[in-house]
Amino acid sequence: MKLLAALRGALIVSCQAFEGEPLYGSAHMAAMAASALNGGARGIRTNSQEDVAAIRAITDVPIIGIQKTLIAGRTIITPAFSMAQALHTAGADIIALDATSLRDQLCRGRFPAAAELIVRIHTELGCLVMADISTVEEGIAAAEAGADLIATTLAGYTPYTSLEQGPDEPLIEALVRETRTPVVAEGKIDTPAAARRALACGAHAVVVGSAITRPQLITRKFADALAETSFEGGAA
């Protein structure tokens, strides 16, 4: 498929900001996306139909749309078909959704299972689906349900997984080995070297977020490093 081929070996930048942060708002996210594209990104992942629409207005690169929703104290990615439909209408080429077993447990009785949602998005929207997972078993299940991409986004973010640093190389390698679905490396990838390792493990593409688009977190790393260093020099 042409869209998936366009993302082979690509850097996809996740442009998101939370309410209350200085860069919160669609105009800021569009500017952030433009900056990422100027730097060589070939795709954008973003949250909410408003941000999808704002970014679509400035570029024709593939956009992965998500809608984060708080359920039982946990953030679930695009649990409802109506959310997927709104993202698609706004201009998303790919809908990303939570395909973890935790998601299905928390959403049971309120939203369709991830496998059902994948089928409905394909059937009614004709849109590609990225399944965000945290384990090999979840990735295999998503592939069997017809997901067009499997992303390691939620490795380390479910109660039954842990990940200090990304990429989750064993997870990527296992998914590449066990499925024929393109695997996207995402989650805690904070250096170019880590991104290269993900591709070396067989990832189809790499998503990087906070290390590029969250300046307050980037700044904090530098500030904390300096604060931990004793100053032994003389007066300036």
pLDDT the model gives residue 232: 54
pLDDT tens-digit map of 93-143: 999 999 999 999 999 999 999 999 999 999 999 999 999 999 999 999 999
DSSP H helical ranges for 77-184: 81-90, 101-107, 114-120, 136-144, 169-178
Average the pLDDT over 24-47 and give the result: 97
pLDDT > 70? residue 231: no
Q: How far apart are CA 181 and CA 162, in angstroms?
A: 23
pLDDT > 80? residue 58: yes
pLDDT the model gives residue 230: 60
What confidence tier does 198 reach under pLDDT thresholds 50, 70, 90? very high
Domain boundaries, the chain: 2-227
- Could you say which DSSP state residue 121 is in? I
pLDDT > 90? residue 91: yes
Task: Tell me the average pLDDT of the chain.
Answer: 94
- Residue 119, token pair as written in the block: 């089928």
Return the percentage of the chain with pLDDT > 70, whole number: 97
pLDDT tens-digit map of 147-187: 999 999 999 999 999 988 879 999 999 999 999 999 999 99
Q: How many CB atoms lie within 10 A of CB 105?
A: 9
Q: Residue 97, SS3?
A: strand
pLDDT tens-digit map of 37-48: 999 999 999 999
What confidence tier does 235 reach under pLDDT thresholds 50, 70, 90? low
Q: How far apart are CA 134 and CA 139, in angstroms?
A: 8
pLDDT the model gives residue 229: 77
Are 182 and 204 spatial neighbours (Cβ–Cβ below 8 Å)? yes
pLDDT the model gives residue 163: 86
Topology of domain 2-227, CATH = TIM Barrel (3.20.20)
The distance in angstroms from the start CA to the end CA of the chain is 60
What confidence tier does 1 reach under pLDDT thresholds 50, 70, 90? confident
